[in-house]
């Protein structure tokens, strides 16, 4: 195997580590976004509980206001009752009084019901706040860990990039261009091993005589995919 190809193999190794690290780096903002979405949804749960409680309190306040007004009317009715001149008018006023008394009774039940709702609403609000706060703390911790990981990955990346520049400087321009071209095209490995007598990249069979030459250290360019086919530790001949 010519010296340049050995360097290309080194480069390939560095590049696959670069790919792994860049995939890990991409994963970090994705995870952060998931935590942010979770917190947003918990904040919105808390807001919902809060406005629900406010509604209950408002409606309870209205019931109390109506009750006060109805009690006032009832008192007026009771005073007027004494002034009624006919039986008919008296009965009609009694009806009004009964109606007002019933309304007050209904309002009392509603007010009690609202009290229970308010009590439950307060508990629910506290619970929603606890969940939101707990997860905010947890997310902050996780964010810090992720930020730390990102720093380490960046450092590793810088080292690998420097290593890559170093290796590239020792490779001939034509071969390097070819390597970059295949890599950019997303063809994966540029130097592949002979595998079962075929190109390890595109699996095209290689003539037996050429395969023998490869096994003796010759380098061969696959006519189909353009990769360099070499003899590697795990290489094998056809039928092996």
Q: Which residues neighbour 238 within 8 Å (Cβ) at sequence distance 6 or greater?
A: 196, 197, 198, 205, 208, 211
Please, which residue, 121 or 201, has the CB nearer to Zn ion? Answer: 201
Positions 181 through 200 that interact with Zn ion (CB under 5 A): 199
Q: How far is the CB of 206 from Zn ion (least distance, A)?
A: 9
Closest distance to Zn ion from the beta carbon of 201 (Å): 4
Query: Which range touches Zn ion (CB under 5 A), out of 83-91, 118-126, 176-184, 203-211?
Result: 203-211
Verify binding: residue 201, Zn ion, rule CB under 5 A: yes
Minimum distance, C-beta of residue 171 to Zn ion, in the bound complex (Å): 21
Does residue 13 contact residue 160 with C-beta atoms inside 8 Å?
no
Counting residues that bind Zn ion (by CB under 5 A) gives 7
CA–CA separation, 101 and 83 (whole Å): 20
- Residue numbers 210-229 binding Zn ion by CB under 5 A: 222, 224-225
Q: CB nearer to Zn ion: give 139 or 202.
A: 202
Taking the complex as a whole, the smallest distance from the CB of residue 193 to Zn ion amounts, in Å, to 11
> Which residues make Cβ contacts (< 8 Å) with residue 84, sequence separation at least 6?
90, 93
Residue with smaller CB distance to Zn ion, 53 or 192: 192
User: Which of 18, 153, 202, 238 forms a contact with Zn ion (CB under 5 A)?
Assistant: 202
56 binds Zn ion (CB under 5 A): no
Q: How far is the CB of 221 from Zn ion (least distance, A)?
A: 9
Question: Which residues of the shown chain bind Zn ion in the complex (CB under 5 A)?
Answer: 199, 201-202, 204, 222, 224-225
């Amino acid at each position: 195997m010519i010296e340049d190809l050995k360097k290309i193999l080194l480069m390939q190794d560095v590049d696959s580590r670069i790919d792994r690290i860049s995939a890990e780096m991409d994963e970090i903002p994705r995870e952060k976004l998931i935590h942010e979405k979770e917190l947003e949804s918990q904040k919105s749960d808390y807001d919902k509980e809060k406005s629900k409680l406010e509604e209950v309190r408002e409606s309870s306040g209205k019931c109390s206001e109506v009750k006060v007004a109805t009690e006032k009317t009832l008192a007026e009715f009771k005073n007027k009752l004494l002034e009624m001149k006919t039986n008919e008018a008296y009965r009609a006023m009694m009806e009004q009084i009964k109606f007002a008394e019933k309304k007050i009774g209904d309002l009392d039940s509603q007010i009690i019901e609202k009290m229970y709702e308010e009590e439950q609403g307060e508990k629910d609000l506290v619970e929603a706040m606890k969940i939101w706060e707990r997860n905010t703390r947890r997310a902050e911790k996780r964010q810090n860990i992720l930020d730390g990981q990102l720093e380490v990955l960046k450092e590793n990346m810088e080292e690998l990039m420097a290593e890559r520049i170093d290796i590239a400087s020792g490779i001939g321009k034509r071969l390097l261009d070819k390597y970059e071209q295949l890599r950019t095209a997303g063809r994966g490995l540029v130097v592949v091993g002979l595998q079962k007598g075929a190109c390890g990249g595109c699996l095209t069979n290689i003539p037996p005589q050429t395969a023998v030459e490869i096994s003796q250290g010759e380098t061969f360019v696959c006519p189909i995919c353009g990769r360099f086919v070499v003899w590697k530790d795990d290489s094998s001949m056809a039928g092996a």
